[in-house]
Structure formats: structure tokens, C-alpha cells
């Protein structure tokens, strides 16, 4: 009897070794691979050959016919039942870079682990450069390459699926051997169950937009590639809507930390004199935790672009103009006028966070939300992980979850303090360094070697302030801040060096050089035109 198998979630797409001759033609010696092999899915096979199961149509096919007995078995079959099995949940900075670190280490022949990397999306996203998508400075493929391209020359297998549930069996050191038993199981939304010996929690975090009434429905977060694409679409729609009109586009950015300031500077530069940007923060200054040099550079740029700052305020509610009501008669009169012109306009009610300020209302066409985040840890069925109030797993100094020697947690999934007792910030820099340590400590654990304690080294802080503007404050040179075009170039070089693979770095580096040359020629032509046009 034959039935149709349609997994409930996203495509499961592993990537394996295979020649990519076209890539070698353009990048000799790079080991580029364009082919993808199929999944060792165990539960779904045809004539003894592995196949890909997908609910979507396209290059991986759509509906797969399997027997009823095969459909009932949903446990992933690892290729080798003797080698360690490592599951990495999350393909961000922590997860992907841990996988690449494990791949780069030298292993005894019988102990090189089998590595599965899980993420709900098909692309890795270099989040610190999402702002450049709005300014048009980078293309999607440059900062959001597909996992298939990044992992094609490795033995790491990638599953595009969402993690639904975890079962942990290693509580208090049970089954500590790398060869006997298993550390637990990962349950995916598609129904697949995967056993593991070692687990890395690196699922990242999502923007928390439900902090005030109306925000979840009316405000747009800015933390993922999908968020950036949505904001880009909304900005384009507003630019079309206001084309040829005298009234400006009004954008409100909630939050004056790094994300809020970078977003406000980028949007303001894009809109120029066609828009007005308001930045709202509850502290008395922007970037309260940033180095003074970065803060001063940002203030100069925000002031030069006439970005309106509402500091010492928090947003109490966001409402459509047609639905907004307040006890303040003056504010209500102004709002009635706004609603009459555009009932879909958004009204933000600002509540003073500092003393001596009055409640204010602000109307805007678009509200961008950059404050608050929530870790994306899945549900744990048994042996609950130790979590702090914010939802992150507590780890020891080796990055292992307390009480669970087979589970590591890094990035936004981890709650770890530095040597001074302060909780490490959820930044890309922290995740980079934790991934390096986690890869090494997994090697040490599998080979029965001592694990290393993680020590964060702050290398400095960087921020973009527009297409040709940035601020970089390195920690190793006290008092130095690189601003303007120099800071912009330094930041791009630093991030280019941090891209995941040599092959991708080469491609992006060439692309950026070409764009820089084109911009230089255009600037020279503009200058010559101005000079020649003078009497």
C-alpha cells in the first residue's frame, strides 16, 4: 500500500560533498560546490536510495510516495552508529560558527563527529549589516548567503526545520560516555526525531514587540532578514504614496540603543528632505552603555540630519489615529485633525520616564521597534534546563548548561557573566568568541580532555551611521574613535574578515570593490560636472 507523505513543516535539506566545477572556474582552489545530495532520512526511502522529503514544490520535489510502515517510523538514522553525534540548534553566529569550528579541527579517525545543523530559515544572516539593505549598500546574498553555499564543502548536514521539543537524558552526568546511550532527542516540527550525543543551543532571540498595547500589531521589529525586507517594502510604499507631495514621511524609531540609533541614521539618510525621523529612548542620552567616542559621533550625525530625539520617554501605547482617545483636549484636537487627513496614521503616546517631563503624543506613518528581545529556546519535556527570568539557560564557565554535561548554550540562548559579574551582552562579538570555545570544548569532551573556561575579550564597538559614515572604537587603543568614511571603511573590513567562509569572503570582497569603484567614478563625474558648469 502506498500513501503520500507530506511533512508538516519546512524542507529538510542536507548538504554533502560534491564537485562544483563552475565555482572552481571562477574561484580556483576554493572548493566551491553547487550540487546537493539527499537526506539519510531512514524513515523515508525508495529502492534503497536516500531521498528528500518536502511539503513544498521546487528543486527538491514535492510529494513523496512511501509505504505505510515507513511513514510510521520518523527517527533519523545517522550514517555511522559509532561516531559521536552532534546536533546544533540554530544557524546564527553561534551555531554556524561552532559547526565550522568543529569541521576545522583535527580529529582521531574514529571520533570525528557527525554534525547536524538546524535552522528554520535557508539563509545565514549577518545581522550587524541588515541596515545596509535599507541604504542599498549591500545585496541580500552578500550578508545572507544560503547554508547550502556555506556548507557545501564540509561534512556538516543542514536541516531546514523548526525545533519543537527537547528530551534530555544527561541530567547530573547520566550517560556521560560518548559511545553509550544518548544525550537526548530533538523533536522537529515536521515530525522527525533526532537522537544526539552532544547538543548546542544557539537558537538566538526574536524581537519582543508585545511590550505595550498596539505594538505587536502596528509596529515593525528589525532583527531578522524578513524584518528588514518588510521594512524595505513599507518604506517603498510610503515613498510612492508621498511622491510629489509637500508633507514629509514620518518614521518613529523606538529605542536609542545601538539598533535604534543605527536604524534612525540609516532611514534618515535614505529619506533625506522627504522624511522626518523621531528616535524615542527612555534614558537621558542615546547609547548609554556605549563608549563616549561612539556616542559623540552618533550625536553629531543625528543632529546634522535633523533627527528629532525624544529622550526620557517610554512608549505607553500605539494606536491608529481613527481609534485614538485621550483626556488631553489639545492632543485630542490635534489627533482629530490627523485622523481626518489619514485615519491609518499611527499615534504613539509617550510617557515620561524621567521627572519633569509631560505626556506627549506623536503621529507617524511607520513605527520601527528595536527594544526588547526573547530567547527562542524550545520546550523541554523532561529534566528542565536551569533558566533565568529572561529565558536563557544558565551555563558554567565552559559554556555547558548547569547540570547537563552534554549540552552547551551560547549567544542569546546563554546566561553567562564575565569576570566582573556582569552578564555578557547579546552581541555578535560574544557569539563569535563563544562559538570558537564551544567547538574546542566539544573536541575536548569527546576526546576526554580538559575543557577551557570561556573568557570574553572585548575588541571594541562599531556602528553604522549611513552609507559613508560609521563609528569604530577599538578597545586596544584608549580614546581612539574612527569616524566618518574612515570608520565606515574600517567597519566593513572588520566585518568582511568575520564572514563565515574564505570562499564567501572572496566573493563579497570582489563585489564590494566593484561597488566602491563605481561609486568613486560616479562621485568624480558629479564633481567634474559641477566644476564645468561654473561660469
Pairing label, strands 220-221, 366-369: parallel
- Give per-residue pLDDT as tens, 348-380: 999 998 777 788 999 999 999 999 888 777 766
Q: Helix, strand, coil: what percent of the chain each, to 5?
A: 35, 25, 40
Residue matched to cell numbers 550625536: 299
* Contact (CB, 8 A) for 494 and 462: yes
- Specify the pLDDT at position 393: 87
Q: Tell me whether residue 71 is exposed, middle or buried, using C-beta atoms within 10 angstroms of its C-beta: 0 to 12, 13 to 18, 19 or more.
A: middle
Q: How far apart are the C-alpha atoms of 200 and 197, rounded to whole Å?
A: 10
- Specify the pLDDT at position 181: 61
What DSSP string runs through 299-367?
A: HHHHHHTTPEEEETEEEEEEEEGGG---S-HHHHHHHHHHHHH-TT-EEEEEEESSTT---EEEEESEE
- Which CA distances in Å does 517 have to 520, 521, 522, 523? 5, 6, 9, 10
Give the 3-state secondary structure of 474-500. ECCCCCCCEEHHHHHHHHHHHHHHHCC
- Specify the pLDDT at position 237: 96
Dig out the grid coordinates for 291 from the structure. 563608549
| φ and ψ at residue 310, rounded to 5 degrees | -115, 85
Could you say which residues of the chain have pLDDT below 50?
1-73, 173-180, 327, 332, 340, 382
SS3 of 249, please?
Answer: strand
Q: How far apart are the C-alpha atoms of 396 and 495, rounded to whole Å?
A: 29
User: Model-level pTM?
Assistant: 0.81
Amino acid at each position: 500500500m502506498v500513501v503520500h507523505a507530506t511533512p508538516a513543516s519546512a524542507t529538510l535539506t542536507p548538504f554533502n560533498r560534491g564537485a562544483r566545477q563552475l565555482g572552481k572556474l571562477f574561484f580556483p582552489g576554493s572548493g566551491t560546490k553547487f550540487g546537493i545530495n539527499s537526506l539519510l532520512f531512514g524513515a523515508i526511502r525508495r529502492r534503497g536510495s536516500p531521498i528528500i522529503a518536502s511539503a513544498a514544490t521546487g528543486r527538491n520535489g514535492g510529494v513523496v510516495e512511501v509505504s505505510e510502515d515507513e511513514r510510521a517510523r520518523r527517527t533519523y538514522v545517522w550514517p555511522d552508529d559509532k561516531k559521536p553525534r552532534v546536533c546544533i540548534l540554530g544557524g546564527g553566529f553561534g551555531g554556524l560558527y561552532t559547526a565550522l569550528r568543529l569541521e576545522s579541527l583535527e580529529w582521531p579517525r574514529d571520533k570525528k563527529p557527525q554534525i547536524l545543523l538546524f535552522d528554520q530559515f535557508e539563509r545565514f544572516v549577518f545581522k550587524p549589516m541588515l541596515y545596509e539593505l535599507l541604504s542599498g549598500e549591500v545585496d541580500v546574498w552578500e550578508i545572507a548567503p544560503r547554508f547550502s553555499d556555506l556548507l557545501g564543502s564540509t561534512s556538516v548536514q543542514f536541516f531546514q526545520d523548526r525545533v519543537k521539543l527537547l528530551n534530555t537524558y544527561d541530567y547530573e552526568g547520566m550517560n556521560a560516555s560518548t559511545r553509550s546511550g544518548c544525550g537526548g532527542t530533538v523533536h522537529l516540527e515536521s515530525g522527525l526525531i533526532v537522537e544526539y550525543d552532544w547538543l548546542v543551543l544557539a537558537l538566538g532571540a526574536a524581537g519582543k514587540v508585545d511590550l505595550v498595547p498596539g505594538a505587536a500589531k502596528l509596529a515593525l521589529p528589525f532583527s531578522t532578514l524578513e524584518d528588514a525586507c518588510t521594512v524595505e517594502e513599507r518604506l517603498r510604499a510610503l515613498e510612492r504614496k508621498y511622491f510629489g507631495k509637500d508633507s514629509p514621511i514620518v518614521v518613529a524609531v523606538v529605542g536609542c540603543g545601538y539598533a535604534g540609533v543605527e536604524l534612525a541614521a540609516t532611514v534618515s539618510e535614505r529619506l533625506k528632505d522627504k522624511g522626518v525621523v523621531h528616535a524615542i529612548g527612555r534614558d537621558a542620552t542615546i547609547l548609554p552603555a556605549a563608549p563616549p567616542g561612539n556616542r559623540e559621533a552618533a550625536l553629531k550625525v543625528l543632529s546634522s540630519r535633523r533627527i528629532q530625539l525624544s529622550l526620557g520617554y517610554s512608549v505607553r501605547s500605539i494606536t491608529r489615529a481613527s481609534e485614538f482617545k485621550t483626556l488631553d483636549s489639545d492632543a485630542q484636537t490635534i489627533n482629530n485633525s490627523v485622523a481626518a487627513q489619514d485615519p491609518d496614521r499611527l499615534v504613539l503616546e509617550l510617557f515620561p520616564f524621567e521627572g519633569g517631563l509631560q505626556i506627549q503624543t506623536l503621529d507617524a506613518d511607520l513605527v520601527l521597534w528595536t527594544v526588547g528581545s526573547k530567547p527562542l529556546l524550545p520546550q523541554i519535556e523532561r529534566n528542565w534546563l536551569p533558566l533565568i527570568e529572561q529565558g536563557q539557560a544558565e551555563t558554567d564557565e565552559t559554556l555547558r548548561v548547569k547540570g547537563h554535561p552534554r549540552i552547551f548554550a551560547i549567544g542569546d540562548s546563554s546566561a553567562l557573566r564575565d569576570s566582573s559579574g556582569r552578564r555578557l551582552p547579546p552581541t555578535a562579538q560574544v557569539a563569535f568568541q563563544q562559538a570558537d570555545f564551544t567547538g574546542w570544548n566539544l573536541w575536548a569532551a569527546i576526546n576526554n580532555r580538559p575543557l577551557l573556561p570561556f573568557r570574553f575579550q572585548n575588541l571594541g564597538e562599531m556602528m553604522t551611521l549611513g552609507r559613508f559614515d560609521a563609528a569604530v572604537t577599538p578597545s586596544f587603543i584608549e580614546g581612539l574613535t574612527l569616524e566618518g568614511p574612515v570608520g565606515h571603511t574600517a567597519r566593513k573590513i572588520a566585518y568582511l574578515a568575520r564572514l563565515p567562509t574564505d570562499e564567501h569572503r572572496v566573493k563579497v570582497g570582489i563585489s564590494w570593490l566593484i561597488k566602491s569603484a563605481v561609486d568613486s567614478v560616479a562621485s568624480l563625474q558629479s564633481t567634474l560636472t559641477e566644476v564645468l558648469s561654473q561660469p
